[in-house]
Structure 1
Amino acid sequence: MAILAAIIVMVLYYGREIIIPIALAVLLSFVLAPLVRLVQRLRIPRSLAVVSVVVIAFAFIFAMGSLLATQLTQLAGDLPRYQSTISEKIQSFRETTAGRGTLERASSMLKDLSKELDKPKEAANSLGTIAAPKAAAPRPVPVEVLQPDPGALESLQTLISPLLHPLATTGIIVIFVIFILLQREDLRNRLIRLAGSDDLQRTTAALDDAASRLSRLFLIQLLVNGSFGIVIGMGLWLIGVPSAILWGILAAVLRFVPYIGAVIAAAFPLALAVAVDPTWTMLLWTIALFVVVEPVVGHVLEPMVYGHSTGLSPVAVVASATFWTALWGPIGLVLATPLTVCLVVLGRHVERLEFLDVMFGDRPALSPPEIFYQRMLAGDPTEASAKAEEFLKERSLSSYYDEVALRGLQLAQADAERGALDPDRLTKIRDAVQEFANNISEQDERPPPKVGPTTDVEATSAIEGVAEDAPYESLRVLRKEDLPTGWQGEHPVLCVAGRNPIDEAAAIMLAQLTGAHGLSARVEAAEALSTANIFRLETTGVAIVCLVYMDASSPAHMRYSVRRLRRKLPKATIILGCWMKDIDPAALESLREGAKADLAAATLGGALKLCIEATGVDSLGTGAEGPASKITAA
């Protein structure tokens, strides 16, 4: 793999004279494809539509290039006039910062030392010997080689030779753009064949969607960045910065490089503002222009048009800019983001290239349940708590526990069943879940109404999987006076782990969830139900018991546990929590009947709903309701 990567890099570097025009042609074809389709809707043949659009596009590019060259020539001619202003500002800055201080004294000392070292040696030594006079060296005869005046052909060659390479490159780009636009369906079919997908319809739809998205993205980026350049150019012209059109075009081009492009574009006019204006007013106005325009375009205009992201992670943007600049120079810096976007889109739609999306895309590499489990496994609940707080800005605590935390524990249970987790690691996970629950214990069940949406990518991914009207998003939060007399004790709910520390971790989450809804709960480990410990179990004020299992491998263990709880608490309602992955209602009912439990739930939210309904209070706050149903499988 490393050898293949090295070969690809070498090909990109040594073949850049050919690959760069092809890359530019591909990107331009994405930009021009929507325009070609628009012209074709006017019943113009494809060949004529392609040629017309390409000619107009390159005429515009040549016009911009000519204007850019004119501005550069004018700026180069004006630069000597600004030398005195620069010298005065440097002198003023030196007097302000150093004066007659340490830096100036050190500089003076170094100059004196240099003069001493440059003095010639004494003519005589210490003994008084007199050096013999040297013979006069012969004067060299000057020789001058005169070149004949260049002829007409030589002058023409000198004039044309610098233009040959750019013209050849432009010609290659034009030819490739035309043929790509003419045969884009054929090229798509060949890419489908290379992808090697068995599902032809799905792959075709995916690539068509990817191509249309890329075309729209690049076209909109071109319009947005062009508008940015126009505003910057007009602002610099009003401020009085020379060659404002040049800096506007440069700002539009460099803004294709996210994060750092606008900063680089601002550096040149800022330096020129320092050189032109004897005061600092022009510099301050130029800084203000970029400070105002860039955030407005980046945080107001772009989200309105196509969203915040190009689909790349920040690290990928910086890494790609560094890589392509090292390979292809300044043109690589401009092409870095579009090329990487193309690679990421291919990775999302072509299974063999999925690693590109994982490496460079902005989507989380792990799902929210996997992130939760990984943090618990590492004994670091702090990061998981921060992600949960972001999630709770838009969704309820019960939704987080069901959609993220419980699924994370299901992954842990699966690893435990295949022997990948030893008892010490299971205990570590249980302790991490306990600390996690303590960290978010102050969170309300439902998000505050005035809290803004989260900007965390991983939290957003979890939120997108939970609808605002999810089944348990609006469960009632009870007050103590709402509860019947028998439920007003210190801990009316007892959550008991079934067999192992993973069950206990799930019981901890259920206890916090019931507490957030006004039903205070206490958690007991699985050992509390052993024959030796069941008689010492504290049951004062307990009205309902939740027996929690993360696996259904031992229905007999469930039955014996329920039997012991029934003997200890004959009047309490027993809820069997069977929180296995993808358990169906029939299997859940079978487990409940086999264990002789009163109720059963397949989710944390379902168990919470049963607890609230067991009090005789409507779980949704619409009034009293009858007895709870036997199971909640949702």
Structure 2
Amino acid sequence: MAPRPTRIPAAGTPTKTVTSPLIVAALIVTGLYLGRDVLIPIAIAILLSFVLGPLVNFLRRLHFGRFLSVAVSVLMTLSVVGALGALIGVQLADIAHDVPRYRTTIEHKLEGLQDSPAGRMADYVASIGRTMHRDDSKPKPETEAKPDAPPPDRAILVEVKDRAPDALTLAGTLLSPILHPLATIGIVFVVLLFLLMQREDLRDRMIRLAGSSDLHRTTVAMDDAAKRLSRYFLVQLALNASFGLVVGIGLYLIGVPSPVLWGIFSALMRFVPYIGAFVSALFPLALAAAVDPGWSMVVETLILFVILEPLVGHFIEPMLYGHSTGMSPFAVLVSALFWTWLWGPVGLLLSTPLTVCLVVLGRHVDKLEFLDVLFGDRPALTPVENFYQRILAGDPDEVQEHAELFLKTAPLVTYYDEVVIKGLELAARDAARGVLTPEQKTDIRQSLSGLVEDLADHEDAAGDGEDSSSAAPTASRDGLVLCVAGRSFVDGAACAILAQLLGNRGIGARLVPFSDVARARIDGFDPGAARIVCIVSTAISGEPTHLRRLAERMKRKLPQAHMVVGLWQADENGLDEAAQRRAIPADMHVTSLRGAVEAIVVAADPNAPAPRDVDRPAPHPVGTAIPA
């Protein structure tokens, strides 16, 4: 057999490869790393702009003017940062001054530990190690010098003295450690000033980048995203500041030195996910151990953090802004590792706020939806998609678990209508496109049969506005209803579901596969004592014509029977509901399992409540049942 010729894309035809997104991602990461000295101040300024945005708007409502409002807000922020920096410097100087005293306390504690049983055990183990590694060989004596040997060379001691630095060099040495932080702070506030002044212009440019085809939707989305981020950062900043204040007061009452420093440090570390609380408690505990000759201060400090952090993290935070940041736990961990590797400790502090910004943008901007999928805490698949994916993968156990979880808050008919039937529509659409193999169809039917059997013992709750007493079965009427399946491979499962729901109402239903009522076999079909016929189909292109012929055959076979047609449209290009009612002759048309059950209940018992979600062809009023 000759080899198949290789296709060469025409000139100018774009080719999609896996390497293109990887190259773009590598370039972005490289740019973030190389430009960190400029990008870090810009990122901090963007986050501060969300925090100061509500304050600027408040001042503008007081008729301060744009420039004055921005200037007052920035100056207030700069003053707070300067005051915090001064406090941190003073507290660090106090700690450095008391280091010799702390060293003496630590030495006394170590001596006390050595006198304890644990210390003696450690010395015993260390002595064994020294004995095992001791060298028993004695050094050889030096040979006596020969009379004619030259005298040994004597070393000459040379002392090198540095030249005293001039005033300019001394100033550079003293100021170099603080020049870089000062430059970063200066860039932050300059960028922050321009961001607040040009906020509307930057918003318009973001709208243009996000998509200007639907200005109303894009504008609402961007404004909502900005409000959500501002609210989240303000609440988080206030909560962390309050946490730091309580920590500082608690450490002051306990007697730990420099409580203001550790309060500020604890407030900053709460921005770090997972390990922030542990790190914020580590240094005060170490300082308490160095200050107190005993261990009471260490125990009191530990109790303070053990009580305060769970109280804030598990009770106060959920009440203020929900149970999470909108990010999945895995995304929080990965973002912390990524930004720490990229930007160091500053990246660790900014990791959660930056990723929250990305998640919010992904939820409001269509072109950035992949960010919400990657980092958000919402399920990647809808319940319908998850159901279909699991039955397609042949995993009925997980389908059963999702069903039990759903049924804790909803009745059985709602689960069938909102999840299972819509999943069957996806299966019917894939079958119409020819992407399902016969083996996959068989597996899907088996999974659906197992699910229906597992849910047979589930106690079905009454729907909204439905009397539970009327939902209970009173007397079984076997064979009253014929559930006739359409020709789709999932219509039999839909009929089995409908029969189960009717059985919960005390109405016996008989399942009729499509092959039994086909044109060639309809004459030999025995309907028994059925008085109601319900045709169930997940419609695809061309299905209404087929259903019309099926309904006509059943009407000729059972002229006195009440005809109900349940049609679920799986093709967006199919007929609308009015066209379906005109095309398919029936006493009632329903578009949900709940509507089918209620229509059959009314047809079986005229005294039952009027059905909902049921359509009748003209001239009868919509929603009115015709008794059999």
TM-score if structure 1 supplies the norm length? 0.82
Cα distance in 2 for residues equivalent to 1:492 and 1:481: 17
Q: Contact (CA 8 Å) 1:601, 1:633: kept in 2 or not? A: no
Q: Contact (CA 8 Å) 1:445, 1:517: kept in 2 or not? A: no
Aligned to 2:464: 473
One-letter identity of the residue aligned with 1:31: V
Aligned to 1:33: 53
Aligned to 1:511: 499
Cα distance in 2 for residues equivalent to 1:90 and 1:150: 47
Cα distance in 2 for residues equivalent to 1:288 and 1:538: 79
Aligned to 1:80: 103
SS in 2 for 1:358: helix
Cα distance in 2 for residues equivalent to 1:145 and 1:274: 43
Cα distance in 2 for residues equivalent to 1:99 and 1:492: 89
Return closer, same or farther for 1:400/1:86 CA change in 2, 3 Å cut-off: farther
One-letter identity of the residue aligned with 1:488: S
Aligned to 1:337: 352
Counterparts of residues 586-625 of structure 1 (less than 5 Å):
586-593=578-585, 597-616=586-605
Structure 1 range deviating more: 277-286 or 168-177: 277-286
Q: Contact (CA 8 Å) 2:272, 2:351: kept in 1 or not? A: yes
Q: Contact (CA 8 Å) 1:478, 1:519: kept in 2 or not? A: no
Q: Contact (CA 8 Å) 2:551, 2:584: kept in 1 or not? A: no
Counterparts of residues 365-376 of structure 1 (less than 5 Å):
365-376=380-391
Q: Contact (CA 8 Å) 1:489, 1:542: kept in 2 or not? A: no
SS in 1 for 2:374: helix
Cα distance in 2 for residues equivalent to 1:109 and 1:27: 58
- Tell whether 2:246 aligns with 1:231: yes
State the identity %. Answer: 47
Structure 1 residue 547, shift from structure 2 partner: 2.9
Return closer, same or farther for 1:538/1:306 CA change in 2, 3 Å cut-off: farther
Match of 2:232 among 194, 217, 233: 217
SS in 2 for 1:116: coil
Q: Contact (CA 8 Å) 2:589, 2:615: kept in 1 or not? A: no
Unaligned runs of 5+ in 1: 124-129, 448-471
CA displacement, residues 394-441 of structure 1 (integer Å, 9 cap, x when unaligned): 333222222222112111111110101122211211222223334444
Structure 1 residue 321, shift from structure 2 partner: 0.9
- Tell whether 2:373 aligns with 1:385: no
- Tell whether 2:225 aligns with 1:197: no
What value does the CA root-mean-square deviation take over the aligned residues?
Answer: 3.7
Counterparts of residues 539-618 of structure 1 (less than 5 Å):
544-551=532-539, 553-555=542-544, 557-558=546-547, 561=550, 573-581=562-570, 584-593=576-585, 597-616=586-605
Aligned to 2:490: 502
Return closer, same or farther for 1:243/1:319 CA change in 2, 3 Å cut-off: same
Match of 1:360 among 350, 356, 375: 375
SS in 2 for 1:161: helix
Aligned to 1:116: 135
Aligned to 1:451: none
- Tell whether 2:175 aligns with 1:160: yes
CA displacement, residues 500-522 of structure 1 (integer Å, 9 cap, x when unaligned): 43112222332333344454656
Q: Number of aligned residue pairs: give it.
A: 589
Cα distance in 2 for residues equivalent to 1:216 and 1:167: 29
Return closer, same or farther for 1:193/1:564 CA change in 2, 3 Å cut-off: closer
Q: Contact (CA 8 Å) 1:575, 1:601: kept in 2 or not? A: yes
One-letter identity of the residue aligned with 1:41: R
One-letter identity of the residue aligned with 1:87: L
CA displacement, residues 518-542 of structure 1 (integer Å, 9 cap, x when unaligned): 5465655444546898899897786
Cα distance in 2 for residues equivalent to 1:287 and 1:516: 59
Match of 1:9 among 26, 29, 34: 29
Aligned to 1:457: none
SS in 2 for 1:576: strand
Unaligned runs of 5+ in 2: 1-20
Cα distance in 2 for residues equivalent to 1:481 and 1:33: 58
CA displacement, residues 452-491 of structure 1 (integer Å, 9 cap, x when unaligned): xxxxxxxxxxxxxxxxxxxx534444679864xxx52467
One-letter identity of the residue aligned with 2:564: I
Cα distance in 1 for residues equivalent to 2:70 and 2:51: 12
Match of 1:48 among 47, 62, 68: 68
CA displacement, residues 73-109 of structure 1 (integer Å, 9 cap, x when unaligned): 33343442441365267558x845x975xx8766443
CA displacement, residues 115-144 of structure 1 (integer Å, 9 cap, x when unaligned): 227x54556xxxxxx966698854422222
Aligned to 1:458: none
CA displacement, residues 361-399 of structure 1 (integer Å, 9 cap, x when unaligned): 223322222121111111123333333333333333222
CA displacement, residues 130-168 of structure 1 (integer Å, 9 cap, x when unaligned): 966698854422222123444444433322222222211
Q: Contact (CA 8 Å) 2:544, 2:580: kept in 1 or not? A: no
Return closer, same or farther for 1:139/1:391 CA change in 2, 3 Å cut-off: farther
Cα distance in 2 for residues equivalent to 1:141 and 1:251: 56
Cα distance in 2 for residues equivalent to 1:35 and 1:145: 61
Match of 1:446 among 461, 466, 471: 461
Aligned to 2:16: none
Return closer, same or farther for 1:112/1:186 CA change in 2, 3 Å cut-off: same
SS in 2 for 1:579: strand
Return closer, same or farther for 1:560/1:173 CA change in 2, 3 Å cut-off: closer
Q: Contact (CA 8 Å) 1:492, 1:519: kept in 2 or not? A: yes
TM-score if structure 2 supplies the norm length? 0.82
Structure 1 range deviating more: 245-254 or 265-274: 265-274
Q: Contact (CA 8 Å) 1:226, 1:252: kept in 2 or not? A: yes
Counterparts of residues 386-401 of structure 1 (less than 5 Å):
386-401=401-416
Structure 1 residue 224, shift from structure 2 partner: 1.5
